[in-house]
Structure 1
Amino acid sequence: MSVLPDPGASRAVLVGTGRYEHLEQLPAVPNNLQALADLLRGPLSLQLPARHVAVVEDPVAAHTVVGAVRQAAAEATDTLVLYFAGHGLVDAQDQLCLALPHTEFGRVETGLPFDWLRQVLLLDSRAERHVVILDCCYSGLALGRMGAGLQLADQAAVEGSFLLAAAAETRTALAPVGETYTAFTGALLDTLRHGIPGAPALLDLGVLYRHLRLVLEARGHPVPQARDRNSGAQVALARNHAVLPAVPLTAAPGVDAGERSWPDPRAVRTVTGFFTALADVRVVSGLTHRAVSERSAGRIAAGTVSRLLNRSTLPATWNATAVYLAACGVPGEQITQWQAVWQQLRAEAAETASVRAASPAAPQRGDSEKNRTWQRSFTVFRRKRGQ
């Protein structure tokens, strides 16, 4: 079953090198990074909080990239997205090496072995799922050493992940001169922004991969590769905006609300994810705030709907959320699942607050200094008294 990651429990690290001292420049890479970061943070995709998207542009050293990935791997518990755009090299052992600004052709020790990042994902990551997107370009020599193009995906594969890689034959084919984005990332951005007509409501990685193969092949560009480990293909990067917003339920008598692709509350793990998915319910229903209010028979006002979806803390009572979900058309059994998630998050918040309250408060610096000043004054006073 396809599922959108919980944005509160997910992280993304976007790495790109467009400026090189010894290799061909790739001016489209900065555009890739900015556009993909904006998309992942926005309503068209995962709606990740800004602090959950790390952009590493033109890293001067390998440890800069590894450090950013290691931090994200330690923080993410749902999904970790790792993206790289730039030149790719192949070492003497046919291992993938990512080119950094100072990388020299034929000297892979000046680059970043992908296996270093792969080890972080394997050994240090708390995330259940990993999405690895590699938009790398190769020279003719690199392609000759690679042999079959599918070897790239095999090299970079990580258990519990989905690898999506651009199989570029030349730099120009991957980054056409004068284009805003590289060919592969441009097609990916366009698909996430506009959707795929006739495709499912969730654009999971399996659907994206098949669509990108058709699009890029039709354009004469190298076709991408993919590797799926442990159902990683079911991770969705966006809703299918070619079929959203849906028409209001009242105008679609032939559509069963229970068959709609509602956000799965069981995938929610954080308060951020709760409200993101809750807002997505309205998108799937195709209803405006006013229409939700009307369908609730006045039990929830349009202003209340807006305030509910823009909260940053969980509501103290369940009633308004239940009315909202029912008015949107969510089936009763799913509303029960939503309530269970709300109760679980409330319990976790209460437990966290209890632990904080039980912890001894750290002394205030001002109070400590006042206390030391008083002690010094008292000591001087006693000396004057001959004590």
Structure 2
Amino acid sequence: MSVLPDPGASRAVLVGTSQYEHLEQLPAVSNNVQALADLLRGPLSLQLPDRHVTAVENPVAAHAVLGELRRAATEASDTLIVYFAGHGLVDAQDQLVLALPHTEFGRIETGLPYDWVRQVLLLDSRAERHVVILDCCYSGLALGRMSAGTGLADQAAVEGSFLLAAAAETRTALAPVGETYTAFTGALLEALRQGIPSGPALVDLGTLYRHLRLTMEARGHPVPQARDRNSAARVALGRNHANLPAWPVAAAAVADAPAGPDERPWPDPRAIRTVTGFLTALADVRVVSGLTQKAVSGRSAGSMTAGTVGRLLNRPDLPATWGTTAVYLSACGVPDEQITHWQAAWQRLRTQSAPAEAARPAATRDGGSGKPRVWQRPMSTFRRRRDH
């Protein structure tokens, strides 16, 4: 079963080298990194918080990349996404080297050996799943060409991960001059933004790889390679936007739908680890239902106004009570047995956040401003508290 990572427990490190001192310039790589970062933060993909997406452009040396990667690897407990775009070289031992701005052909100390990245993922990462996307050349034999050879997936493989590599024979088509993106990353962005016609509800990595392979081959571009370890191919990078319900769906139409097993791709509350993940999945429920906020309100039998629905889906913290969330889920059409799992996730997160809530100063709880609510106490009491 495909699963969307919890955005609160996931991280992405996107590395791109577009400017080189000794190799051909790749200006499209800068667009790659910025567009992919925006996509991962936005509603068309994982909706990662801004601080969970790190873009490293034109790093001065290997340590600049490895430092950010190590930090993200220790923070992520769900999924860690690592992306590199730029030139790739092959050293004397036929190992992949990621080219940085000062990299010189034949001087491996000026690049970033992929094996160093692999070691960080193996030794320092707390994440259950790794997604590694390599959009790079493999030989650097010709200016402006992004090349590859056989066996790249085997060389770059990381245990417990899904590797997606844009590797093929030497061809200028992989980085067309004047294009906004490199060919591979452009196709990747297109699939996540527009969806995959006739594809599943979630764009998991296995589906994405097969689609990219067909797309690149049809365009006469080099075809990608992939390696799946421990079923990481089921990790999804977003919902299939070519397979969403027609929106908006009338409340009456949902109410009149024939009875039977509900096979809509509802978010799985059992995969939720964080408050951010809970709130993101809660908003995703309405997307899957196809209902507007007004329609959800209409199906709640007067229990929720459209404004209440909006506030529930745009709040920054976990709902303090369960009732409103239960009404919302039921109004959206979520099956009762799944609502039970939602309540269990809510209760687990409430329990986890209780120690942090208790540690906050009493004056800042529930107020939001951080200022003592002095108007609720006699002045003498306030002075005693201030003096302490």
Pair in the same fold by TM > 0.5: yes
Aligned to 2:161: 161
The one-character-per-residue Cα deviations of 1:6-64 (angstroms, maximum 9, x if unpaired) are 00000000000010011011010000001000000000000000000000000010000
Aligned to 2:346: 342
Aligned to 1:90: 90
When the two chains are superposed, the root-mean-square deviation of aligned CA atoms in Å is: 1.9
> Matched residues in 2 for 1:260 and 1:19: separation?
46
One-letter amino acid matched to 1:327: A
Q: Work out which of the residue numbers 303, 307, 311 in structure 1 matches 2:307.
A: 303
TM superposition score normalised by structure 2 = 0.88
Q: Work out which of the residue numbers 247, 251, 254 in structure 1 matches 2:253.
A: 251
2:70 pairs with 1:70: yes
Distance 1:257 1:299, change over 3 A: farther
* Unaligned 5+ runs, structure 2: 362-388
Please state whether the residue corresponding to 1:15 is helix, strand or coil: strand
What are the residue-to-residue correspondences of 1:209-224 with 2, within 5 Å? 209-224=209-224
Aligned to 1:265: 269
Identify which range, 184-193 or 104-113, moves more after superposition.
104-113
One-letter amino acid matched to 2:253: A
Alpha-carbon offset, residue 169 of structure 1:
2.5
What are the residue-to-residue correspondences of 1:3-42 with 2, within 5 Å? 3-42=3-42
Distance 1:338 1:150, change over 3 A: farther
One-letter amino acid matched to 2:309: V
- Identity value in percent: 78
One-letter amino acid matched to 2:4: L
The one-character-per-residue Cα deviations of 1:254-281 (angstroms, maximum 9, x if unpaired) are 6856200000101111111100000000
Please state whether the residue corresponding to 1:84 is helix, strand or coil: strand
What are the residue-to-residue correspondences of 1:131-280 with 2, within 5 Å? 131-139=131-139, 149-170=149-170, 172-246=172-246, 248=249, 250-251=252-253, 253=257, 258-280=262-284
The one-character-per-residue Cα deviations of 1:182-218 (angstroms, maximum 9, x if unpaired) are 0000000000000011111000000000000000000
* Contact 1:246 1:284 (8 Å CA) reproduced: no
2:103 pairs with 1:103: yes
The one-character-per-residue Cα deviations of 1:349-384 (angstroms, maximum 9, x if unpaired) are 102334667xxxxxxxxxxxxxxxxxxxxxxxxxxx
> Matched residues in 1 for 2:129 and 2:317: separation?
27
> Matched residues in 1 for 2:93 and 2:359: separation?
51
The one-character-per-residue Cα deviations of 1:93-120 (angstroms, maximum 9, x if unpaired) are 1111000000011222210001101100
Please state whether the residue corresponding to 2:13 is helix, strand or coil: strand
Alpha-carbon offset, residue 158 of structure 1:
1.2
Distance 1:258 1:275, change over 3 A: same
2:342 pairs with 1:333: no
> Matched residues in 2 for 1:254 and 1:153: separation?
47
Alpha-carbon offset, residue 170 of structure 1:
2.8
> Matched residues in 1 for 2:83 and 2:260: separation?
38
> Matched residues in 2 for 1:171 and 1:106: separation?
21
* Contact 1:5 1:46 (8 Å CA) reproduced: yes
> Matched residues in 1 for 2:150 and 2:258: separation?
44
The structure whose residues are more often helix, as a share, is 1
2:64 pairs with 1:60: no
> Matched residues in 2 for 1:185 and 1:65: separation?
20
The one-character-per-residue Cα deviations of 1:63-99 (angstroms, maximum 9, x if unpaired) are 0000010000000000000000000011111111000
Aligned to 1:113: 113
Alpha-carbon offset, residue 250 of structure 1:
4.6
* Unaligned 5+ runs, structure 1: 358-387
> Matched residues in 1 for 2:183 and 2:294: separation?
42
Identify which range, 163-172 or 87-96, moves more after superposition.
163-172
> Matched residues in 1 for 2:321 and 2:140: separation?
63
* Contact 1:11 1:75 (8 Å CA) reproduced: yes
* Contact 1:138 1:171 (8 Å CA) reproduced: no
* Contact 1:98 1:114 (8 Å CA) reproduced: yes
Distance 1:250 1:224, change over 3 A: farther
> Matched residues in 2 for 1:94 and 1:215: separation?
29
One-letter amino acid matched to 2:267: P
2:348 pairs with 1:353: no
> Matched residues in 1 for 2:182 and 2:351: separation?
46
* Contact 2:213 2:224 (8 Å CA) reproduced: yes
> Matched residues in 2 for 1:257 and 1:13: separation?
40
Alpha-carbon offset, residue 172 of structure 1:
1.8
Please state whether the residue corresponding to 2:34 is helix, strand or coil: helix
Alpha-carbon offset, residue 245 of structure 1:
3.8
Distance 1:201 1:246, change over 3 A: farther
Distance 1:11 1:255, change over 3 A: farther
* Contact 1:95 1:113 (8 Å CA) reproduced: yes
Q: Which runs of 4+ in 1 moved over 6 A?
A: none
Distance 1:285 1:256, change over 3 A: farther
> Matched residues in 2 for 1:21 and 1:158: separation?
30
Please state whether the residue corresponding to 2:325 is helix, strand or coil: helix
Distance 1:218 1:254, change over 3 A: farther
Aligned to 2:129: 129
One-letter amino acid matched to 1:304: T
The one-character-per-residue Cα deviations of 1:298-334 (angstroms, maximum 9, x if unpaired) are 1111100000001111111101000000011101010
Matched pairs, number? 354
- Computing the radius of gyration over CA atoms, which structure comes out larger, 1 or 2? 1
Please state whether the residue corresponding to 1:259 is helix, strand or coil: coil
